[in-house]
Structure formats: structure tokens, C-alpha cells
Amino acid sequence: MLAAVLTWATLLVTAVGCTSDGIGGSGPGGVFGGKPQPPEDVIRVTPDDGSKGVRSAERLHVRVSEGRLESVSVVKSQDAQDSPVPGHMTDDGMSWEPDERQLALAAEYTVDVVALDDDGHRSARHTTFTTYVPDERFIAYVTPENRSTVGTGMIVSLAFSRDIADSAAVERAVRVTAKPAVEIRPHWFGKNRLDFRPERYWKPGTQVTVDLRLRDVEGARGVFGLQYKTVGFTVGRSQVSLVDAAAHTMDVTRDGALLATVPITAGAPKTTTYNGKMVVMDMLEVTRMNSRTVGFGGEYDIADVPHAMKLTDSGTYLHGNYWSPDAPGNVNVSHGCVGLRDVKGGSSATPAGWFYDRSLIGDVVEVVNSKDKTVSPDNGLGGWNMAWKEWKAGSAVK
């Protein structure tokens, strides 16, 4: 009897005795398996909590070694705006990744995770990290303007604020589409200009959309894009004007029908006008023209040139001329521009005013029979002077 009592007492002491290794404790783990693991051991988040300057190529990844993920919420804070980051879990529920593999730059990410282990215990984890803030950025200046109505000869032109080294990456981040649909192809002119056009002039009524997804695209070493925007414009009626420099006339054709023949004066024998297709880039009711700005020394300085429409970057304009009233229709006297009869101050009753009032940015003016070369495709919006095969060859994406 005494031996039996001592044996039972010994067993009881052993059962309730505390140990330093946690195996026999009386807490939640107790005899049922020990202390729960810390959340950071159960739920692994990459990049690490508190990381700074994380590069865009690093992977955001959430995983558990056992059990499964019950919920994952990721929020991106960028440009004073919070937005959820969509993602997906693996079939076994043990891993989560964002749908967009690249991390946004200059952003803070907040990750909240709940996991469930095999015994039904939940663990939660909250982490944050910030991404790299670039020292240098680039943007694209888009022609034409958003919501504008343009002529059928408009070429979409992007002028970049920095030289682009990775032209293929930048080109992939720009999408130009049209309704009704038409094939639109890009062409690079140098390192900081990218133009888009269809094979032929746009059809009247076409809606064109330019999507820039340049944000965080590395255009050159250490230089990242800043824009995420959309530009849209509408193609208006068709108007193409044919300037015959030898006959001193301009035939204005609207939607396939001759609207009028207007007398003009083109470039004088020593300062001829470019041949070829040019596109109206800008329209000014009055402007100053100074010969020194286009390499002609001090030959002229006219403070009030009326009805001026810019055709090239090098300084070719179609404009009103009031100082040589007898020249249009008879003789070429300009320094390379196309002049129409006008009066000082301009008037809608003159040929120049009449044409100006019926023109749009994006209209085509084609010059023939001038004793000069064809205008370069990169001089203004002169891309229509390039054959379609050659134009397509100017893409950086092969």
C-alpha cells in the first residue's frame, strides 16, 4: 500500500513539474506542442520589413512554410495617392505575388498578411518598405494637344526631355491606337524624338488615342520616365493644298474636291522653297519674322506678319504678305516661305485670311516644281516624305 502511494506521488510531481525548455509549460502550448512561432517566422515577406531604396526589379513575395495564407493585402502609396496592388496566390495557398512584377519607384508599400497553420492557429504580419527614388527623370512632350481637332496629315510626335538610350523599352511603353482601326507604326529620329503615323493620311472622323506608360521606364542609365497619361485627338475634314512654285498657284482641295486656286509667291531663285509634303504645325494670327533667326543675316525684320502657319522647324511658313502685293501669282520673292496676298493687320477678305480661316493644324501643304530639295522627314512633321517600308524600319522593336 505504501509503495503504491509513493509511486503515484512521484508520477504527479513529474506531471506538474515546470521545465526551462517550454515543453511541459501550462500556457497555451503546454503539453500540446510548445510556444507558438513568432509571426515573422511563420510569414515571410520579401523585401524585408523597413527596407529602403528597393529597386524596381526586386520581387515582392509573401509565403508560408506550412499551412496556408488566408488573406494578403498590399497597398502602394505614390504621388500622395493610395492604391491596392492586385495579386494572386498559388494553388496550394502557400505563396502570393503581385500581378505586376515590377515595383513602382518612389513609392511606399504596405503589406498585411493573415496565415492559418495546420492546427488552425492564425498569425498576422504587417510590414512596410520603400522603393528607390530616381535622381533623374524624363518626360515626353506630345504633339498634337489633347482633345484637339486636327487635319488628316497630323503625325503624332513625342519629343523627349532627355536623350533615350534604351529606345526599345521606351517605344514599348507608348501605344497609339485609332477608331476606326488602322495600322500605326513608330519611327525614331535621333535619340529624343519618336513619331507615329499610318501608311496614308488619316480618314476624317478618326479618333486617335496616345497612351504613355513611361512611369519608371529606364530610358537611359539611371534616368526614368515620369508620365502615366493619355492624350486623345480627333481627325477633322480632309484638306490638302498643292503649291506649284513654278506656276505661282496653290490648289486647295477639301474632301477630294477643288475648293479654290489661290495665287502665291514662293522662294526667290537664291532662297528657294522646299519641295515635298509639309504639315501645318502652328497657326498665328500675327507674328514677328526676323531673318537672323533663320540664318539670313539682317535681310528683313517684319514685326507684324499676318496669318502665319508654321510648316517646318527650320522656319518655313505659309503666311500673309502685304509688303509685296503684286508678287503672288506672278513672281517668287520670298526667303523660302509661301506668301499669300494680305493687308497690313490682316483681313479675312484677303486670300491669306480666307485660307487661314479654313485651315487646321495637321493640314497638308505640298510644294512641287521648286528648284530645291525635298524637305527632310524630321524637319517639322515631314514624315509623309518617307516611304512606308523605310518608315517602319525606324522602329527600335524588332
Its CATH architecture, for the domain 36-130, is Sandwich (2.60)
Confidence category of residue 299, pLDDT binned at 50, 70, 90: confident
341-355: pLDDT as tens digits:
999 999 999 999 999
Its CATH architecture, for the domain 136-236, is Sandwich (2.60)
Cell of 287: 507674328
Residue 117, pLDDT above cutoff 80:
yes
User: What is the rounded average pLDDT of the residues 139-160?
Assistant: 98
User: What is the rounded average pLDDT of the residues 124-132?
Assistant: 98
Instruction: Tell me yes or no: is domain 239-385 CATH 2.40.440.10.
Output: yes
241-250: pLDDT as tens digits:
999 999 999 9
32-57: pLDDT as tens digits:
445 667 877 899 999 999 999 999 99
CATH 2.40.440.10 intervals, the chain:
239-385
For the ranges 14-23, 78-87, 211-220, 326-335, which has the lowest average pLDDT? 14-23
- Residue 357, sorted as left (phi over 0), alpha (psi -120 to 50) or beta, turns out to be alpha
Residue 376, pLDDT above cutoff 70:
yes
CATH 2.60.40.3710 intervals, the chain:
136-236
For residues 236 and 204, the answer to whether their CB atoms sit within 8 Å is: yes
Return the percentage of the chain with pLDDT > 70, whole number.
91
Predicted TM-score (pTM) of the model is 0.85
CATH 2.60.40.3780 intervals, the chain:
36-130
Residue 164, pLDDT above cutoff 50:
yes
Residue 170, pLDDT above cutoff 70:
yes
Other CB atoms within a 10 A radius of the CB of residue 55 amount to 11
* Residues with a known catalytic role: 319, 337
Q: Which amino acid would we find at residue 249?
A: T
